[in-house]
Amino acid sequence: MAFIFDDTNVRQEIESGKPVVIDFWAQWCGPCKHISPIVEELAQEYEGKVLIGKYDVDEGADLLAEYNIRNIPTILFFKDGKLFDRHVGSTTKEILAEKINALL
């Protein structure tokens, strides 16, 4: 299951140094619903190697301005505590897996 990021834990996880992938989403977002199962599958497949989770934009706002999140879904990829890559919009599992593998 994908990790649930919120304003209380997100910075700690990013700064941990391990690879982190954050899916910025909302319940009302159609494209977010489309990639949600993909994010869940990848979270299981990369468990123990990469922390993959979701950040509900309606529940928190701290990161939206900091990382210029203007559209959802937006997926951010962090390596060594720094933003490494981003993807905006719906996508395939293969494209996300390529970006995750680049973190490793």
Instruction: Provide the pLDDT for residue 59.
Output: 87
Q: Which of 20, 21, 32, 63 does the annotation list as catalytic?
A: 32
Q: Dump pLDDT digits (tens) for 26-47.
A: 999 999 999 999 999 999 999 9
Contact 45, 52 (CB under 8 A): no
Give dist(CA 89, CA 74) in Å, integer: 6
Q: Which of 10, 29, 75, 76 does the annotation list as catalytic?
A: 29
pTM for the whole thing?
0.95
Domain 3-103's class?
Answer: alpha beta
Report which residue type is found at 6: D
3-state helix, strand, coil in the chain (%, to 5): 35, 25, 40
Active site residue 32: yes
Residue ranges covered by each domain of the chain? 3-103
Instruction: Work out the pLDDT band at 62, boundaries 50, 70, 90.
Output: confident
Range 18-38 burial, b when 16+ CB lie within 10 A, else e: bbbbbbbbeeebeebeebbeb
Active site residue 29: yes
